[in-house]
């Protein structure tokens, strides 16, 4: 929970902060929404600037002022020019601008650094994701945009060590690894048996059909194609059921493959009962090609559900010995890790206990917000003074 501080006497009293994000349906929006109450308690007058759909999804306007600025997920020179102009107007009175993600950072850098008149305002950019692992002209354009964005920022906050190292290589002046904590999930409202029954699973014998859970956007980054490759090699009777909670652009493609190959996989769509699903699952799998501080991984370890994840990005430093890690893109290794845990309850229980211990050392939402507030105070100086 956020610290209870009188906003009028908070350490950011009178400071106006613009928080900026692009199109988001997952981690970035969830993170930003989670820190708003604590920033308000510090006395900051916060305005969130982002696509209208993000306010509808995350409810920013319930915790701060919200101004629609349509920053899309992909590069679009015409749309980006409009977004820059809109953000320049929306953040005109802000003392500090904080952009979350590379797309928001690119637009914010143009709006803050290229604007005319007025004092120079501090710009903070948080990097949540790496560039897509692809070659060609688009990759070069994105790499150029990334370089310009991190160099324009006064402080770059990176969600993982590899993102921080890359920002330093690109010439960022001040780079810090900053936590991105998953908000605490609400308590489960249904029993394990009720959730399993809703998925068509046996609720009787303890050795019934295993349930493997994946949670995340249906996007190439998440590696669901590799997960389906792994599923095709699973044997035994009964075969585990894989439930994937999330929506996204790959839904139709994944659904068609599941149907064509008669795979024991069900697509649940976007869900708000992840706590229930975690409590009912025998194991969680995170087959991503890259992650920084995956919210799903954090939720799994906190819930005490054994996790199999890929050894990529920031996951090794986040998870330590609290999860079983396999190489990204290796379907055989993923299949072996999953079946190995499902057939060895003692090993699965030991992994779950190690996961809880690892999670106990992570910062919570309040600590994450305090980190941001400390950066803001450092850049702005004490109340009543100009920017540092």
Please give the full DSSP string across 192-203, using - where no structure is assigned: HHHHHHHTT---
| Structure token digits, residue 124 | 């903070």
Reference 145, options 175, 119, 109, 186; nearest CA is 109
- Flag whether pLDDT at 278 surpasses 70: yes
pLDDT score for 9 = 53
| Average predicted confidence (pLDDT) for the chain | 90
Specify whether the CB–CB gap between 317 and 161 falls below 8 A. Answer: yes
Q: Identical fold at 7-181+364-380 and 192-359?
A: yes
Q: What is the DSSP letter of 238?
A: S
pLDDT tens profile 226-258 = 999 999 998 777 789 999 999 999 999 999 999
> 29: helix, coil or strand?
helix
pLDDT at 387 over 60: no
Per residue in 54-101, pLDDT tens? 999 999 999 999 999 999 887 788 999 999 999 999 999 999 999 999
7-181+364-380: which CATH topology?
Rossmann fold (3.40.50)
Q: Structural domain boundaries of the chain?
A: 7-181+364-380, 192-359
Output the furthest CA–CA distance in the chain (Å, rounded): 71
Nearest to 22 by CA among 56, 71, 61, 60: 71
Spatial contact of 12 and 5, defined as CB atoms under 8 Å apart:
no
24 three-state secondary structure: coil
Give dist(CA 171, CA 168) in Å, integer.
5
- 192-359 adopts what CATH topology? Rossmann fold (3.40.50)
The pTM of this model reads: 0.86
Q: Quote the Cα angle for 48-50-52, to 5°.
A: 110
386 — pLDDT class (breaks 50, 70, 90)? low
Residues for the chain: how many in total?
388
In 236-344, alpha helices (H):
251-261, 274-280, 295-303, 315-319, 331-342
**Paired strand residues for 125:** 99, 156
Give the mean pLDDT of 17-39: 91
**Strand 175-177 relative to strand 155-158, pairing:** parallel
Contact status, residue 46 vs residue 40, Cβ threshold 8 Å: yes
């Amino acid at each position: 929970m956020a610290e209870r501080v009188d906003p009028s006497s908070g350490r950011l009293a009178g400071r106006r902060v613009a928080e900026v994000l692009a199109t988001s349906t997952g981690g970035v929006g969830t993170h930003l929404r989670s820190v708003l109450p604590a920033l308000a308690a510090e006395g900051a007058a916060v305005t969130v600037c982002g696509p209208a759909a993000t306010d509808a999804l995350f409810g920013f306007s319930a915790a701060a002022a919200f101004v629609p600025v349509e920053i899309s997920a992909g590069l679009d020179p015409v749309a980006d020019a409009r977004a820059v102009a809109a953000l320049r107007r929306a953040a005109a009175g802000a003392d500090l601008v904080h952009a979350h993600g590379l797309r928001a950072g690119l637009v914010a850098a143009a709006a803050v650094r290229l604007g005319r008149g007025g004092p120079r305002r501090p710009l903070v950019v948080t990097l949540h994701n790496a560039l897509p692992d692809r070659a060609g002209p688009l990759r070069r354009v994105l790499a150029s945009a990334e370089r310009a964005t991190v160099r324009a920022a006064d402080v770059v906050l990176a969600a993982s060590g590899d993102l921080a190292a890359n920002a330093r290589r690109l010439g960022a002046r001040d780079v810090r690894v900053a936590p991105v904590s998953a908000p605490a999930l609400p308590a489960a409202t249904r029993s394990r048996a009720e959730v399993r029954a809703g998925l068509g699973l046996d609720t009787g014998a303890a050795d019934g059909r295993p349930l493997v859970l994946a949670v995340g956007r249906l996007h190439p980054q998440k590696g669901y194609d590799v997960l389906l490759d792994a599923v095709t090699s699973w044997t035994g009777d009964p075969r585990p059921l894989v439930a994937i909670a999330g929506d996204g652009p790959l839904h139709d493609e994944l659904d068609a493959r599941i149907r064509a190959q008669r795979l024991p996989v069900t697509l649940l769509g976007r869900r708000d009962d992840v706590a229930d699903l975690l409590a009912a699952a025998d194991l969680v799998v995170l087959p991503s090609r890259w992650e920084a501080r995956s919210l799903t991984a954090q939720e799994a370890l906190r819930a005490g559900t054994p996790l199999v994840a890929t050894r990529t990005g920031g996951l090794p430093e986040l998870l330590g010995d609290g999860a079983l890690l396999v190489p990204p893109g290796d379907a055989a290794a993923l299949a072996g890790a999953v079946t190995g845990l499902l057939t060895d309850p003692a090993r699965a229980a030991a992994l779950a206990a190690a996961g809880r211990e690892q999670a106990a050392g992570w910062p919570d939402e309040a600590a994450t917000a305090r980190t941001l507030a400390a950066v803001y105070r450092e850049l702005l100086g004490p109340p009543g003074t100009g920017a540092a």
